[in-house]
Amino acid sequence: MWIDVADDDGAEIEKLQRAFGLHELAVEDSMSGAQSAKIDFYPDHVFIAAKAASLDGDEIAYTDVGIFLTERRVITVCRMDARFSHKLRSGARRIAQRKADRAEYAIHDVLDRIVDGYFPVIQKIAEEILLMERRLLDDSLDREEVARIFQLRRETIHFQHVLIRMFEVCNKLANLDVPCISADAKPYFRDVLDHVVHIDAMSNGLIDVFRTALEASNLLEQQRQSEITRQLAAWGGIIAVPSAIAGIYGMNFANLPGTHSSWGYGFVLGLMAGACGLLYLRFRRLGWLRPARSRQPPPVQRHDPGGHTGPGPRFTGFTPPRGRAQPASS
CATH classification at residue 254:
1.20.58.340
Q: Which residues pair with 39 in a beta bridge?
A: 48
Contact of 151 with 143, CB cutoff 8 Å: no
Quote the domain boundaries for residue 139: 117-325
Pairing of β 59-69 and β 46-56: antiparallel
Contact of 156 with 125, CB cutoff 8 Å: yes
The tally of domains found in the chain comes to: 2
Give a yes or no: residue 112 inside a domain: no
Residue 164 neighbours by CB distance under 10 Å: 13
Contact of 80 with 9, CB cutoff 8 Å: no
Give a yes or no: residue 330 inside a domain: no
Select from 52, 70, 99 the last residue of a domain. Answer: 99
Q: Which residues pair with 67 in a beta bridge?
A: 48, 76
Q: Give the predicted TM-score (pTM) of the model.
A: 0.65
148 phi/psi in degrees, rounded to 5: -65, -40
One domain, residues 87 and 125: no
Report how far residue 214's alpha carbon sits from residue 210's, in angstroms, rounded to the nearest whole number. 6
Q: What is the CATH number of the domain that holds 85?
A: 3.30.460.20
Sheet holding 59-69, edge to edge: 2-6, 74-78, 59-69, 46-56, 38-41
One domain, residues 133 and 247: yes
One domain, residues 79 and 171: no
One domain, residues 178 and 133: yes
Sign of the torsion angle spanned by Cα atoms 265, 271, 274, 277: negative
Task: Determine the pLDDT at residue 196.
Answer: 94
pLDDT averages per 10-residue partition of the chain, 330 residues: 72 82 86 84 89 84 86 78 58 54 80 90 87 75 81 90 92 87 88 93 87 80 82 89 84 73 80 89 85 49 42 42 42
Contact of 169 with 48, CB cutoff 8 Å: yes
Pairing of β 2-6 and β 74-78: parallel
One domain, residues 37 and 138: no
One domain, residues 168 and 309: yes
Give a yes or no: residue 166 inside a domain: yes
One domain, residues 94 and 127: no
Give a yes or no: residue 138 inside a domain: yes
One domain, residues 164 and 313: yes
One domain, residues 55 and 161: no
SS3 69: strand
In the DSSP assignment, the letter for residue 183 is G
One domain, residues 185 and 309: yes
Give a yes or no: residue 220 inside a domain: yes
Give a yes or no: residue 299 inside a domain: yes
Select from 49, 71, 99 the last residue of a domain. Answer: 99
One domain, residues 145 and 279: yes
Give a yes or no: residue 105 inside a domain: no
Task: Determine the pLDDT at residue 326.
Answer: 43
One domain, residues 126 and 81: no
Give a yes or no: residue 197 inside a domain: yes
